[in-house]
Structure 1
Amino acid sequence: MKQSMFATLALLGLTMGSYAQQQPTETDSLEGKKVVLDEVFVSAVRVTKESPVTFSNLTKEEIKPRNLGQDIPILMNFLPSVVTTSDAGAGVGYTGIRVRGSDATRVNVTINGIPYNDAESQGTFWVNMPDFASSTESLQLQRGVGTSTNGAGAFGASLNLLTDGFSEDAYAQISSSYGSFNTFRRNIKFSTGLLNDMVEISGRLSRINSDGYIDRATSDLDSYFLQGAYKDDNTLIKALLFGGHEITYQAWYGIDAETLRTDRTFNPSGIYTDENGNIQFYENEVDDYKQDHAQLLWNERLSDSWSTNIALHYTKGRGFFEQFREDDAFETYGFEPLNVNGEEVNTTDLIRRRWLDNDFYGTVFSATYDRENLNLIFGGGWNNYEGDHFGEVIWARFASNGEYKDRYYDDTSKKSDFNIYSKANYKLNDHWSLYGDLQYRTVGYQANGEDTGMVDDTFNFFNPKAGVTYDLNRNNNFYFSYARANREPNRNDYENGSPRPEKLDDWELGWRYISPDVQVNTNLYYMKYQDQLVLTGELNDVGAPLRANVGDSYRFGLEVDAQVRIGTKFTWGPNITLSTNKNRDFLFQRDGVLQNLGNTNIAYSPDIIAGNLITYKPVEAFQISLLSKYVGKQFMGNIDAESSVLDAYTQTDLNFQYELPFKGFLKSIVFSGLVNNLFDADIVSNGYFFTFDDDFSNPGVITTVEGAGYYPQAGINFLLGATVNF
């Protein structure tokens, strides 16, 4: 059942609740909560209301009721300006996030202050860390440029995660959930508690399986998390090992408009015609990838005013995706033509694997001075990436001169990233505070792929930020800021020629109001881009979105979110984003003629995004929430073609949690349930768009042909879970 935006908003209100709050619900003023010990590891990259930055916080307790196996982007779906999507259609497997219309390659992600975005593609692949929400203490989403952090510059948002804090008490936990599409998650967690008041060891093992909403879009996911912590009066040290192994059947091809109408779950991946002319699907058309992370974090308090953070990290990634290829050309694989029964053979059916094998390592560091009216942070990081890209043929009907696992391409790439920054918050008096942030970043990238060509580029960026905060009183806070960001192209950008680095100037003007029962966060933003690398709507041959420089463009918008306590049992909160997102004087070659299309809409940038959360908590042990998300019409390309439109949609979810307490060894059992897409709406949250020049049907006349693909999301579906706490 489809619903209009106005019907949904009338039913549920423009609300977001705790999913969008910028201050904890327990606060009744702008003083906020005291920082807990573990937050020292993210203090250099996070902000508070004292900084003129637009942000939202999400805590473990707020994530818990919905944490039933879906990826972190899906759990963030109801934050302001956020749009999420899932290739398999049900939130498990490959998932994506956009913030203010900017895709995941433009959202800077750090884990405990350490960069997580893939160094080459700049994307974030949560499928490599399944069930990571179960080891997340809190997260902060900074919209816009945000504060200086480690890794690639933020061109839409920064997301930083803090992993599990240490526990003073020992515990054990067994959790399991099951739902639609045979989605089955189980995990175990434990902690020794503080031993001798100084040492704690904790960990988690998880497994998630799902058939997916889309045909054959299966996911088989394993993950682990192991942490050792040491603390005394002045020292906190953590050593972490975490990672995952994912095997997912490919679902990134999408479907055309006609198939969307007649067979929404159809998946063309793996399709081929056998020797008898029958349609078949290759059973192992999968993505198979492992990723392991090691982090060593050390915080030292040197005095009442000075403290330091240093972290060492190493990430090992390796894996492939496997494909059946029908009638591929010999020349692609270096095969020599064959003579079979007097006829030349130069094509073959084959199975190939395209591999990634990479290492990412480095250090991040910071020193903080905090005394009276001045907070100073000096920090930086050095990170290095080394990646091998190669392809193997593991079977061929005709292999000619080929050998098993011969590499038909073998490329290497290297990337170094060094940055230093300094930040200062200075409180002039009881009302005024000044903020300054200076970052220098240098990036070197080398590649020799057939798709990229020979690349040996070095980029030097200077990123200044400044702002002012005015505290009218303990309840009202205003801020204004300016920030500059620069970013290097990613690997795929080199496929489109010689990309230029992009530049962003971001202005933010905001007001925060906090009282015991009402919290309101409002801000205006203007993001002006030069040479922005925007999504073209097209995909490359491995399903990665392609981008192109577009000259001048901008995003201008208003964001409002709030949380209102209604009596003692209800919480209601609005969030809405109204925006305009334009390419200036966009040039496009249509029918062989270069045309100026004027100001066009930036791809994947809806003009309106609204979220909602109403929570009813009749007793302490039980709560039920009704959530909704409205995403307005958006274009999948930059030429405003009607064939590139993604229709507006509304999603409504129902979520509940009930805790049954016990006394003794068994502490409690927590029951959770989630009904996604309660009204069974036909949702298409993502897609792709392409154009090409056709001069075959009418020789001598060039005609521009348009096409599109779509990723439908599941109708009504559910997840039910139970967690046993010892």
Structure 2
Amino acid sequence: MKQPVLPVLVLVSALPAAAQTAPAVPDTTQALPEVTVTYRAGSRTPVTFLNLSGQELKARSVGQEPSFLLTQTPAVTAYSDAGSTQGYAYFRLRGIDQTRINSTLDGVPLNEPEDQGAYFSNYPDLFNSLSSVQLQRGVGTSQNGVASFGGSLQLTSVSLLDSAHTTLGGGYGSYNSYRLYGEHASGRRGHGAFYARVSHLHSDGYKIRSANTSSSVYLSGGLFYDKTTWKLSVLAGQQRNQLAWLGVPDSVIRVNRRANANGPENDRFRQALVQLQNQWRLSGRSEISSSIYGSGLQGGYDFDLNAFLGLPSTSELYRYDFRSGWLGAFSAYTLRGQRFTWTSGLHLSTYRRRHLGSEQQAGELYRNTGYKREGSVFSKLEYRLGPLTLFADVQGRTATFRYRGSVPLEPQRWQFINPKAGLSYQLTEHTTLYYSLGRTGREPTRNDLFGGNDDLAADSTGRALMFNSRPEYVTDHEAGVRYVVPRLELSLNAYYLNFRDEIVLNGKLGPNGLALTSNVEQSYRTGLEGTAHWQATPKLQLVYNAAFNYSRIREQTQDFRPILTPAVLLNQEVNYSTGPWLLGVSARYQSRSYLDFANSATIAGYGLLNARVRYARTRWEATLFGNNLTNSRYFNNGYVEPDGTRKYFVQAPTNVYLDVRLHF
């Protein structure tokens, strides 16, 4: 889904939240560890989640967009504009798009406030500077920022207290894709520690004229004392893309699978952020964690109207430029007892974004500014009674959107009370059962409100022409079982999401190419998800996850399936290691999905086979990746034009990549 601001992220530091229940800790003068307490769920928290370690992410990461790394977890689908794994890529969770999935870094919201998408292209190598990722499915626990409507993606930054090291790396693969980077960690020295990573990436893309070139820098330093810890981080990045966000007609794909329906369109974005966080231990039982953050973005993209309409490109070329600023702060108090963990906190942010539209011959056509303010408070409690853990969580959230442009618009205001409750029962030492019930609401995005227009349109009387202004709500039931022993981890869960006024993609594009949405009367999503991780022998590892989805939308007297929501997703992986060698083989199956409300246009199901071979010594390692080894000719996203033309996003055939790393 293309957003007018494209990748707008804010990453910023840490805030504690409902941690796993722990016994009281006596007061001590031992120095605090790094600020890493977040909103993550623990083993007995009654929500559905899966963790990915930073080590695992680094082993698989060769510069691809994070969306593709997340497909290792249940119920996630992903696609890219360019067909390869670099450049703009997007993911959906249980069929729900990115604008409705809360993303945070150490508790700091990443979803851009106006359009609520979290896009990682501005910081292309970010996932290599993480210690872990937790993907919560469903409404989960309270988060800062936009509603965790379909789920929440929680990123935990790299630990400054890791041992000192320096790594240099590079790689090259199909479609002239390459990555160069350097990373250094000082380890703790006295009271201080420092980390830095610099990366540069490029890919020509699978489609014709779909190149991506991007760079990023991540710097972080910390001070560690007996009662307090400080951490300051700076993240900056820029990216340039040749755009390929238009689907290609199936008739053209049959002739040339690498065809690009976009004209000579480019974009360029630069973004930087600063984050400061503090953890202050009040006693052995309580602490306060606080963070302030700021981000600025500048850039824009071209829009070839003729290419969008299927006509030959001319000298007419539109341009959308953006400049935004975002400031926020949050703080939380945590108290731990013998049987409970209680956390309460608040978050405030203010955001503005200027929109400027122009045409290269006519010059400036319009400019307007959107303002978004948000405030939230929460309180959550985990209470343990022997094998039973009770969980309660309530959040109050308010958001206000104001607009300044040629068409007057009254401020849009929304208030939400988001309650959640659940329990888990430790049936045995290794087996935990859980159930949770939560409800959350979400305001529409600017794109929903304006019907895809970047400049607010007016009706015949001069009044603002508004489209989807109603908020949407979901009630989420989650039930599951987790089984963990030293060499085997299993989980199985069932869910039922019941929506009111759900805002869903309708398969159409607006006047400047943005995907359009509609409110629907009634809808639900339900399914089963399972994971298995088995270390069968010291050398052999088996990983499996599956998701089965049954979803329906009811509009007046018609029932149909939501678009881009496959009923079956299967992932299997086998890893075998011996000495310095590792061989991994993974397979993925994705069943068919629909492109329109009529359920007449489909994306066929497909299977993928990938493999990797790694050779590692003490000071260096090399990994060869092979993707789509069966050369499947597939696509996993698309839409239907009003005239019935079906347009698709083709993904790459067989491709390879060689990655080399040197450790010092």
Report if the CA contact (8 A) 2:38-2:106 is conserved.
Answer: no
Offset at residue 615 of structure 1 (A): 0.8
Report if the CA contact (8 A) 1:114-1:150 is conserved.
Answer: yes
* Cα distance per residue 1:268-315 (max 9 Å; x no partner): 211xxxxxxxxxxx3xx2111111111101112221110111000001
* From 345, 349, 355, the counterpart of 1:383: 349
Report if the CA contact (8 A) 1:679-1:716 is conserved.
Answer: yes
**TM-score when normalising by structure 1:** 0.82
Q: Could you say which residue in structure 2 is the equivalent of 1:302? A: 282
Q: Could you say which residue in structure 2 is the equivalent of 1:516? A: 486
* From 198, 210, 214, the counterpart of 1:205: 198
Using the alignment, how far apart are the partners of 1:576 and 1:59 within structure 2? Answer: 20
Q: Could you say which residue in structure 2 is the equivalent of 1:476? A: 431
Q: Secondary structure, in 3 states, of the residue corresponding to 1:550?
A: strand
Q: Could you say which residue in structure 2 is the equivalent of 1:689? A: 640
469 and 38 in structure 1: CA distance in 2 versus 1, 3 angstrom threshold: farther
- Counterpart amino acid of 1:563? H
* From 603, 608, 611, the counterpart of 1:654: 611
* Cα distance per residue 1:583-606 (max 9 Å; x no partner): 02x24xxxxxxxx32x21011111
Q: Could you say which residue in structure 2 is the equivalent of 1:246? A: 239
Q: Could you say which residue in structure 1 is the equivalent of 2:110? A: 116
Q: Could you say which residue in structure 1 is the equivalent of 2:380? A: 423
1:717 aligns to 2:655 (yes or no)? yes
Offset at residue 718 of structure 1 (A): 0.9
183 and 327 in structure 1: CA distance in 2 versus 1, 3 angstrom threshold: closer
Offset at residue 168 of structure 1 (A): 5.0
Report if the CA contact (8 A) 1:324-1:349 is conserved.
Answer: no
Offset at residue 460 of structure 1 (A): 0.5
1:609 aligns to 2:569 (yes or no)? yes
1:227 aligns to 2:220 (yes or no)? yes
Please show how residues 57-136 of structure 1 align to structure 2 within 5 Å. Answer: 57-136=51-130
Using the alignment, how far apart are the partners of 1:312 and 1:410 within structure 2? Answer: 30
Report if the CA contact (8 A) 1:535-1:546 is conserved.
Answer: yes
40 and 507 in structure 1: CA distance in 2 versus 1, 3 angstrom threshold: farther
Q: Could you say which residue in structure 2 is the equivalent of 1:187? A: 181
Please show how residues 458-537 of structure 1 align to structure 2 within 5 Å. Answer: 458-496=413-451, 497-537=467-507
What are structure 1's unaligned runs of at least 5 residues? 1-29, 271-281, 329-346, 400-405, 588-595, 662-667, 692-704
Report if the CA contact (8 A) 1:325-1:352 is conserved.
Answer: yes
Offset at residue 242 of structure 1 (A): 0.4
- Counterpart amino acid of 1:689? V
1:353 aligns to 2:319 (yes or no)? yes
Offset at residue 453 of structure 1 (A): 7.1
Q: Could you say which residue in structure 1 is the equivalent of 2:302? A: 322
* Cα distance per residue 1:173-221 (max 9 Å; x no partner): 111011000001001111222222x111221111001100011100010
Using the alignment, how far apart are the partners of 1:92 and 1:671 within structure 2? Answer: 20
Please show how residues 578-589 of structure 1 align to structure 2 within 5 Å. Answer: 578-584=548-554, 586-587=555-556
Using the alignment, how far apart are the partners of 1:670 and 1:366 within structure 2? Answer: 42
Number of residue equivalences: 619
Offset at residue 325 of structure 1 (A): 5.6
165 and 286 in structure 1: CA distance in 2 versus 1, 3 angstrom threshold: same
Q: Could you say which residue in structure 2 is the equivalent of 1:678? A: 629
Using the alignment, how far apart are the partners of 2:207 and 2:586 within structure 1? Answer: 24
76 and 161 in structure 1: CA distance in 2 versus 1, 3 angstrom threshold: same
Report if the CA contact (8 A) 1:476-1:512 is conserved.
Answer: yes
Using the alignment, how far apart are the partners of 1:161 and 1:575 within structure 2? Answer: 21
1:154 aligns to 2:148 (yes or no)? yes
Offset at residue 392 of structure 1 (A): 2.8
1:625 aligns to 2:618 (yes or no)? no
- Counterpart amino acid of 1:558? L
Using the alignment, how far apart are the partners of 2:42 and 2:640 within structure 1? Answer: 40
Using the alignment, how far apart are the partners of 1:186 and 1:681 within structure 2? Answer: 29
Using the alignment, how far apart are the partners of 2:75 and 2:635 within structure 1? Answer: 18
Q: Secondary structure, in 3 states, of the residue corresponding to 1:181?
A: coil
Over alpha carbons, which structure has the higher Rg? 1
Offset at residue 137 of structure 1 (A): 1.3
Q: Secondary structure, in 3 states, of the residue corresponding to 1:258?
A: helix
Q: Secondary structure, in 3 states, of the residue corresponding to 1:551?
A: strand
* Cα distance per residue 1:299-338 (max 9 Å; x no partner): 122211101110000010110112456699xxxxxxxxxx
Q: Could you say which residue in structure 2 is the equivalent of 1:559? A: 529
* Cα distance per residue 1:501-550 (max 9 Å; x no partner): 00000000110111122211001100000000011112234443221100
1:140 aligns to 2:134 (yes or no)? yes
Q: Secondary structure, in 3 states, of the residue corresponding to 2:121?
A: helix
366 and 448 in structure 1: CA distance in 2 versus 1, 3 angstrom threshold: same
RMSD across aligned positions (CA):
2.2
- Counterpart amino acid of 1:420? V
557 and 109 in structure 1: CA distance in 2 versus 1, 3 angstrom threshold: same
Offset at residue 348 of structure 1 (A): 8.4
Using the alignment, how far apart are the partners of 1:547 and 1:466 within structure 2? Answer: 31
Using the alignment, how far apart are the partners of 1:168 and 1:527 within structure 2? Answer: 40
Offset at residue 163 of structure 1 (A): 1.3
* From 209, 212, 229, the counterpart of 1:236: 229
Using the alignment, how far apart are the partners of 1:519 and 1:466 within structure 2? Answer: 25
Q: Could you say which residue in structure 2 is the equivalent of 1:367? A: 333
- Counterpart amino acid of 2:70? M
Report if the CA contact (8 A) 1:38-1:166 is conserved.
Answer: no
Report if the CA contact (8 A) 1:189-1:203 is conserved.
Answer: yes
- Counterpart amino acid of 1:631? Q
* From 370, 391, 394, the counterpart of 1:438: 394
1:410 aligns to 2:376 (yes or no)? no
**TM-score when normalising by structure 2:** 0.90
* Cα distance per residue 1:650-688 (max 9 Å; x no partner): 122112322211xxxxxx112122111111111201112
Using the alignment, how far apart are the partners of 2:117 and 2:162 within structure 1? Answer: 36
Report if the CA contact (8 A) 2:32-2:226 is conserved.
Answer: no
Using the alignment, how far apart are the partners of 2:193 and 2:581 within structure 1? Answer: 31
- Counterpart amino acid of 1:493? D
Please show how residues 255-270 of structure 1 align to structure 2 within 5 Å. Answer: 255-270=248-263
Please show how residues 331-350 of structure 1 align to structure 2 within 5 Å. Answer: 349-350=315-316
* Cα distance per residue 1:206-238 (max 9 Å; x no partner): 100110001110001011101111112332211
95 and 149 in structure 1: CA distance in 2 versus 1, 3 angstrom threshold: same
Using the alignment, how far apart are the partners of 2:562 and 2:359 within structure 1? Answer: 40
Offset at residue 611 of structure 1 (A): 0.9
Using the alignment, how far apart are the partners of 1:455 and 1:87 within structure 2? Answer: 36
108 and 534 in structure 1: CA distance in 2 versus 1, 3 angstrom threshold: same
448 and 548 in structure 1: CA distance in 2 versus 1, 3 angstrom threshold: farther
Using the alignment, how far apart are the partners of 2:646 and 2:408 within structure 1? Answer: 28
565 and 203 in structure 1: CA distance in 2 versus 1, 3 angstrom threshold: same
Q: Could you say which residue in structure 2 is the equivalent of 1:16? A: none
